[in-house]
A and B are shown apart, each in its own frame.
Chain A
Amino acid sequence: MAARQVTARWTGGNRTRLAPQSVRSSDVAKASSESVAPQVARGFWRKYVFSTDHQIIGRQYYFLALFAALVAMFLSWLMRVHLAWPRLAIPGLSALSASGAPAGLMTPEYYLSLLTVHGTLMIFFVLTTAPQAGFGNCLLPAQLGAERMAFPRLNMLSFWLTFTSLGVLLASFLVRGGPAISGWTAYPPLSALGSITGPGEGLGQSLWIISIALFCVASLLGALNFITTTLDLRAPGMTLMRMPLTAWAWFVTAILMLLSFAVLLAACVLLMLDRVAGTSFFVPSGLIVSGQMIHGHAGGSPLLWEHLFWFFGHPEVYIAILPAMGVTSHLLSCFARKPVFGYRAMVWATIAIGFLGFLVWGHHMFVSGMNPYSAFAFAVLTVIIAVPSAVKTFNWLGTLWGGRLRLTTAMLFALGFVSIFVSGGLSGIFLAEPPVDVQLHATYFVVAHFHLVMGMAAMFGIFSGTYFWFPKMFGRMMNETLGKIHFILTFVGAYCVFMPMYFLGMAGNVRRYAQFVDPYLQPLMPLQRFITVAALGLGAAQFLFIFNLFWSLFGGKKAGENPWQATTLEWATPGAARAVYRGPYEYAVAGQEQDFVMQNAPDAGPSRARKEAADDNADQISNA
């Protein structure tokens, strides 16, 4: 009887058809014992360094991102201090670069180097790496009930390419001229002409391009792995519409990565050729740089780079945020002890965001002199993308409504995500209007927008994911008291640092300037100093997190199997049959002893899946 019901569900939406006998627990036991045996035999290097085990690789990515975040945060401190007190020498800075910071006072060019590395580290090595490759590797297979990722060796290759890519980027601190100064967007002609355009534009810029190209390849391989795993290796019964929203987010993000990083890779090839092979894809005629006429290049267009870059760049911002959205949905449901409000709408909103994300890149180029009709089209599409984002926000609120909230640290960060995402997202609607954007483009208004909606929001996603999955990843709990202090300081700090930037932007404060010396900016300087102080505090608060993380690794309370009483498979008993009988968020199901039912719980209760299966049976009986 039970077996028949199960079969009925399996043949539903899943493209692979399975018979009930395929999930005999003996098979599973055999499978897991086989996977364990070769592991033990391997040496330390194969097991922890050049590992093909997605669990290890996920942690490697996570710690790589953590390292990158610390470096990038340190750079942001240097920049903020310089902006607030432009004449203050920073002791020891000349040790980092004698020419970039003579006597500890950074040159405007060196400021731009720090800016470039800060942005590149944060966007690529933190926000693209931790939520997707880090958490995804640790949890996607577990949540789908897969034994492993589809291509373990490619997975290892992806990580080590990412690692190399990070090394190449950081190596630019050591070369003559220092790191590139053209920002994370690397606009030509500045980035295409070599050291004539400034220190850092020689070898530094070349290293930047090589680093990003490597990162592209690593991301493409990673995306390939994620998509294949999701399509092919789901456990019996895990239909697409039963996947946790985290898994959906990783899946759609991987598709975005697959399609957009390929374009960035192509753009990097073209830029590199302009630099080293004398081609003119992006370099226009008649350029005069640093008082010198540029010869040997003609006829190219920097706008071509901008189109290619932003065709990647806009999907990239969703690559950074979608996994955090997934984590938020997952956690709000778990800690409100309620099913996700509008699961299907959430899935479709994720897909819609992914799709529309490819059609709006022009909104980064409103001031590029584009045809007003194209600007209009891009503006309309951009505003449309706010709709699925709003759907998500309302569904989060709907999930919370009437829930019995458990305010764990993980939950607090998820709630914080919603707040910060909205505070940053709403300003996007302003920027989406070309006439308004002409005023606000390249001001701190944009800086506020993207640091809140992407930077801080995705960081909140990373934090909530860490507090939530730490027991799963490391077997121990993180300290809740420290966690809550960390949350309050981070939440308040984030608002103090980034909200005032909206006002700076509206007052005309330009971005990417090393010093604000113009008279009209002087009245804003007190606000600048406030931001710097808040930024130092926000950064310092992160050491609480780091301390908590490493202390809990060894001294945290031992975690039980399912400490949050969650429903999804990552919390299933290891080695238990990984067959799935129901949707991912069955909290507070009527008529159950516990207030949650795990996805792999076959026994009963009037869950939707069971009801459908029962209906199927009833049909069969009445047909007979």
Chain B
Amino acid sequence: MTTQTKFPTLEERGFGDGGNGGEGSAGRSAGGNGTALSVGPTGIWIAMASITMFFAAFTSAMVVRAGLGADWTRVALPRILYLNTAMLLASSVTLELSGRSLRAAREGPFFGWLMATAALGVAFLAGQLDAWRELAARGVYLATNPACSFFYLLTAAHGAHLAGGLLALFYLVARHRRIARGASGQTILKVTTLYWHFMDILWLYLFLMLALWV
């Protein structure tokens, strides 16, 4: 994508678009030099490592807590979780399609798939809320027993992280014209895509853990 630039100057290395907001430095990294050396993608990989540790702590706490005693009562997982999972997986596909359309310079499909991704993301969160509603209707709350404590905890923590990705998607939707013209926002698209796929994989992992333990 950016291989045409082999020799970025010191200036661009120092001032590459940091991906933390985008404005301000965007003008400097434009001008055909691309963002091959941009700090955004590096940053998101590092952030993902940290988020992985955060969830590793929660899930290992869950495994330990489950092994502690007789009060671990399993709960039947709401069936809507399967639908939610399917929607989230689909949203990763649509985001990939959106990126491809952009690279093929097809603005319409780029925007369309982007909107689809955001919509699926919103639907996923709504579906997770519905799962909570269903459990509550069964009389299962956060403190009812340790297994459902972890169910609420893990879904909430994942949902909060996903909401962050959703905000980035909204931002992309709002700026899709400029992105399509190649003016800016390429880095944010790249970073958001990485993060969104990560949220997807993270959910698969959490869903598996919930299915096995809760």
**Which A residues lie at the B interface, using CB under 8 A?**
16-19, 21-23, 27-28, 30-31, 34-35, 146-148, 150-154, 220, 223-224, 227-229, 231-233, 235-236, 258-263, 265-267, 269-270, 273, 277-281, 285, 298-301, 304, 307-308, 311, 578
Contact = CB atoms under 8 A, between A and B. Distances in A.
Contact of A147 (B14, B19, B157): B14
B54 A278 contact: no
Given A31-B14, A152-B18, A300-B65, A232 B39 contact: yes
Interface string B1-33: 000001111110111101111000000100000
A301 B39 contact: no
Given A153-B20, A262-B50, A301-B68, A235 B10 contact: yes
Nearest to A257: B50
A471 B152 CA distance: 54
Contacts of A227: 42, 46
B94 to A, nearest CB: 28
Contact of B37 (A223, A232, A259, A270): A232
A232 B41 CA distance: 10
19 contacts: A16-B13, A22-B7, A22-B8, A23-B10, A35-B15, A147-B10, A154-B20, A232-B39, A258-B46, A258-B49, A260-B53, A262-B50, A262-B53, A262-B57, A273-B153, A281-B61, A281-B146, A281-B149, A285-B71
B15 A153 contact: no
A30 B14 CA distance: 12
A281 B65 contact: yes
B21 A228 contact: no
Given A19-B7, A235-B10, A267-B57, 18 more contacts: A16-B13, A18-B7, A22-B9, A146-B13, A150-B42, A150-B43, A151-B20, A153-B18, A153-B21, A224-B50, A228-B43, A233-B39, A258-B49, A281-B65, A281-B149, A299-B146, A300-B68, A301-B68
Contacts of B71: 280, 285, 298-299
Given A21-B7, A22-B7, A301 B64 contact: yes
Contact of A259 (B19, B39, B53, B64): B53
A124 to B, nearest CB: 18
A279 B143 contact: yes
Contacts of A28: 10-11
Contacts of A265: 54
B142 interface: yes
B106 to A, nearest CB: 31
Contacts of B143: 277-280
A262 B51 contact: yes
B209 to A, nearest CB: 14
A165 B54 CA distance: 20
Contacts of B7: 18-19, 21-22
Nearest to A266: B57
A151 B18 CA distance: 6
B47 interface: yes
Nearest to B36: A16
B168 to A, nearest CB: 15
A22 B53 contact: no
Going nearest first, the 7 A-B pairs with the smallest beta carbon separation are: A147-B14, A266-B57, A278-B143, A262-B53, A299-B71, A31-B11, A150-B39
A153 B54 CA distance: 23
Contacts of B6: 17, 19
B32 to A, nearest CB: 15
Interface of B, helix, strand, loop or mixed by DSSP: helix
Interface centre among A16, A148, A224 (most CB of B within 10 A): A224
Contacts of A27: 9-11
A518 B56 CA distance: 45
B58 interface: yes
A28 B10 CA distance: 7
Interface string B65-79: 100111110000000
B1 to A, nearest CB: 17
A232 B65 contact: no
B11 A266 contact: no
A152 B15 CA distance: 11
Nearest to A17: B6
Given A258-B46, A265-B54, A299-B69, A228 B39 contact: yes
B54 A266 contact: yes
B159 to A, nearest CB: 14
Contacts of B57: 262-263, 266-267, 308, 311
Contacts of A148: 14-15
A31 B10 contact: yes
B50 to A, nearest CB: 5
A23 to B, nearest CB: 6
Contacts of B65: 281, 300-301, 304
Interface string B132-157: 00000000001100100100010001
B46 A228 contact: yes
Nearest to A18: B7
Interface string B86-109: 000000000000000000000000
A21 B8 CA distance: 10
Contact of A236 (B10, B47, B50): B10
Contacts of A19: 6-7
Contacts of A300: 65, 68, 146
A233 B71 CA distance: 52
A279 B9 contact: no
B34 to A, nearest CB: 13
A227 B19 CA distance: 15
Nearest to B37: A16
Contacts of A279: 142-143, 146, 149
B14 A277 contact: no
Nearest to B43: A228
Contacts of A261: 50
Nearest to A27: B9
A10 to B, nearest CB: 11
Nearest to A31: B11
Contacts of B142: 273, 277-279
Contact of B50 (A17, A258, A269, A578): A258
A368 B9 CA distance: 57
Contacts of B21: 153
B15 A147 contact: yes
Contact of A30 (B8, B11, B13): B11
B54 A263 contact: yes
Contact of A266 (B8, B18, B28, B61): B61
A171 B47 CA distance: 31
B51 to A, nearest CB: 7
A258 B52 CA distance: 10
Contacts of A30: 11
Contacts of B149: 273, 279-281
A220 B71 CA distance: 35
Contacts of B153: 269-270, 273
